[in-house]
Amino acid sequence: MKQKIFSIDEIIRFRRKWKSENKKVVFTNGCFDILHGGHVYLFKEAKKHGDILIVAVNTDDSIQKIKGPSRPIFPLKERLEILEAIEHIDCLTSFSEETPQKIIASILPDVLIKGGDWQSEDVVGRKQVEEAGGKVMIVPFRKGCSTSEIIKKIIYASINN
């Protein structure tokens, strides 16, 4: 398997090269704490819109700030290892901020993709991407594919067994 995990600086350098080669770059981000079918569907759909799919993953600390002290379930290293095995993903990086605003502004992807639980106007980085001539797309949410819902089911099952 080829290496897919890179620093943000490396991806910025790659982005300049890809731009000179007229390659279309697609970007998405998230916690990807418990990987499920909704995530795989998001990556598959995202990859259809470009040549290179970059996925930025929240660090453990940033997830705790967003979701609380009981998260993430899996540490960053393990989440990246799992994501690296997904064929639709070309590059992975991580970010410690609560949002990927800095990465998006640095990369300026051609397509910024989020899952269906987002409204286009609320997508972080939307303004910069659109001002640079890119577009924002929302991949429809798959019913029953939510990390929080999966965790609730696990807790419910453990209490009732």
pLDDT digits (tens, 9 = 90+) for 52-107: 999 999 999 999 999 899 889 899 999 999 999 999 999 999 999 999 999 999 99
Residue 3 belongs to a domain: no
Residue 138 belongs to a domain: yes
Number of domains in the chain: 1
Residue 53 belongs to a domain: yes
Residue 115 belongs to a domain: yes
**Residue 158: its pLDDT value, please?**
75
CA–CA distance, 55 with 40 (Å, rounded to integer): 12
CA–CA distance, 46 with 54 (Å, rounded to integer): 10
Cβ–Cβ < 8 Å for 32, 83: yes
Check whether 10 has a pLDDT greater than 80: yes
Residue 108 belongs to a domain: yes
Cα 68 off chain centre by: 19
Domain that holds residue 13: 8-159
**Residue 143: its pLDDT value, please?**
65
* Nearest Cα to Cα of residue 115 among 85, 136, 131: 136
Residue 71 belongs to a domain: yes
Over residues 15-65, the pLDDT tens digits come to 999 999 999 999 999 999 888 888 999 999 999 999 999 999 999 999 999
CATH number where 110 lies: 3.40.50.620
Residue 81 belongs to a domain: yes
Residue 63 belongs to a domain: yes
**Residue 46: its pLDDT value, please?**
97
